[in-house]
Amino acid sequence: MSTHHEILAIHGGPKTINKTFKTHNPIGQSEFRAVKKVMKSGVLSKFLGTWHEDFYGGPKVLEFEKECARYFKVKHAITVNSWTSGLITAVGAIGLEPGDEVIVSPWTMSASAMAIVHWGGIPVFADIDRKTFCITPESIVTRITSRTKAIMSVDIFGGSANTDGIMKIAKEHNLKVISDTAQSPGANFNGKKTGTATDIGGISLNYHKHIHTGEGGVLFTDDDDLAVRMQLIRNHAESVVAGMRYEKLNNMIGYNFRMGEIEAAIGLEQLKKLNLIITRKQQLANQLSEELQGLQGLQTPDIQLDLQHVYYVYPMVIEPEVLQTSRKAIVEALRKEGVPNLVEGYVNVHRLPMFQKKIAFGNSGFPWNLHDNELHPDYSIGICPVAEELHDKTYIAFAITGLDLSEKDITLIGQAFRKVWSNLASLK
């Protein structure tokens, strides 16, 4: 049906979509049964913060870690109580010193950079690719200094950064690489699952991810020593190192980042569903790309042959100059047509007050005051032009993971987009 002459809902016309979309809920009977079994056992956690056979946690935690290692094809999988905890654990494990620099994307949730600051490290932001939204090897190279210790690569929106290119740079400069793969569990880049080809990687199990345990995360590594260090930081390292006879004491400041048995039991059942969830998201996203094909001034996901995208969100870029109207006007019109879960812009972490003022711990400017050059690193507006333009003017997304959608729903969403695009002149 043609929508060319229809009046947009924002101007009083009929809405394209007149329904409330269901929220995606991956929790089912298998999770209920698993939780009930744990509850009946009375063992809700079995971690001890001392060198003991229970230092590594209870039976469900150990089983979940084993299954994650098998699924993601890594030597070690280490559970934590949140992915923020996981990032803090990973950064500490690589031996970051106060004043060390870590190159990181600005286009990410703040926890990526804050895990660096947590250990007295200094985030240095490098720009992203306009199509993948991930940090680029080309931008990373321009940020490397004598103080650079590591790169934190963020696999955003269900996709992957150019891991091969990043690892090549890391090898040339003797840097560690951490993959923040919170949003891309099960995605692939060149045949390897995201988060598994770097020194440390991992996924989030927060409630709005593909699979979840409410809160939680899983760290990945093939390095035996990094695995031990992460297990120690997770569970009161300072009290355990003597009994374990572990002698490298740097950053052996322990926390309670431990996952409980209930969360691990849920995680075991959720992991079994991940492939089906990914396949379904890909089917819906591919259909949406077909629905939106040919809309001038709209960039839909450009998925390369070496990448399997898992669509945490369905990311898009508009060209306001081509469309002769603003992103704000287009998004408002789409929302009035009934399109749900639209996101306008994303985070530019370097713009947060902490980085603009270089104030974190106390008021003295730590950790930035560890170096004499007050101008480095530069957090001024303009240092990441691609990320900034996307945030300010051109990026929109459909948060596909949060909804339980049918093919008919995707058709309706496509019709809403086409109706708005057919009436762009009325939005000027």
The tens digit of pLDDT for each residue in 84-118 reads 999 999 999 999 999 999 999 999 999 999 999 99
pLDDT at residue 185 greater than cutoff 60: yes
The tens digit of pLDDT for each residue in 125-175 reads 999 999 999 999 999 999 999 999 999 999 999 999 999 999 999 999 999
162 contacts: CB under 8 Å, gap ≥ 6: 129, 132, 134, 136, 137, 189
159 contacts: CB under 8 Å, gap ≥ 6: 132, 133, 134, 184, 187, 301, 303, 307, 309, 310
- Reported as type and span, the H/E element at residue 356 is helix 353-357
Q: Identify whether the C-beta of residue 370 lies closer than 8 Å to the C-beta of residue 98.
A: yes
pLDDT at residue 2 greater than cutoff 50: no
pLDDT of residue 302: 84
Q: Shortest CA distance to 43 belongs to which of 25, 58, 61?
A: 58
Predicted TM-score (pTM) of this structure: 0.96
The tens digit of pLDDT for each residue in 188-203 reads 999 899 999 999 999 9
pLDDT of residue 254: 84
Give the pLDDT mean for 311-330: 96
- Cα 236 from chain centroid? 26
Bond into 367 cis (ω within 30): yes
CA distance 320 to 389: 11
Q: Identify whether the C-beta of residue 371 lies closer than 8 Å to the C-beta of residue 147.
A: yes
Helix (H, G, I), strand (E, B) or coil at 402: helix
Neighbouring-strand partners of residue 308: 188
Give the pLDDT mean for 337-342: 96
CA distance 200 to 261: 24
Give the pLDDT mean for 392-419: 96
Which structure tokens are listed for 254? 């322990």
pLDDT of residue 1: 42
CA distance 323 to 302: 20
360 contacts: CB under 8 Å, gap ≥ 6: 117, 354, 366, 367
pLDDT at residue 80 greater than cutoff 90: yes
pLDDT of residue 372: 83
The tens digit of pLDDT for each residue in 271-320 reads 999 999 999 999 999 999 999 999 999 999 987 767 789 999 999 999 99
pLDDT of residue 305: 62
> In the chain, pLDDT over 90 holds for what percent of residues?
94
pLDDT at residue 375 greater than cutoff 80: no
Burial label for 40, CB within 10 Å (0-12, 13-18, 19+), is exposed
**Average pLDDT over the chain, rounded to an integer:** 95
Q: Identify whether the C-beta of residue 18 lies closer than 8 Å to the C-beta of residue 338.
A: yes
All structural domains of the chain: 29-269 (3.40.640.10)
Give the pLDDT mean for 380-399: 97
| Block residue for tokens 């507006």 | 381
The tens digit of pLDDT for each residue in 259-271 reads 999 999 999 999 9
| Block residue for tokens 């269900």 | 158
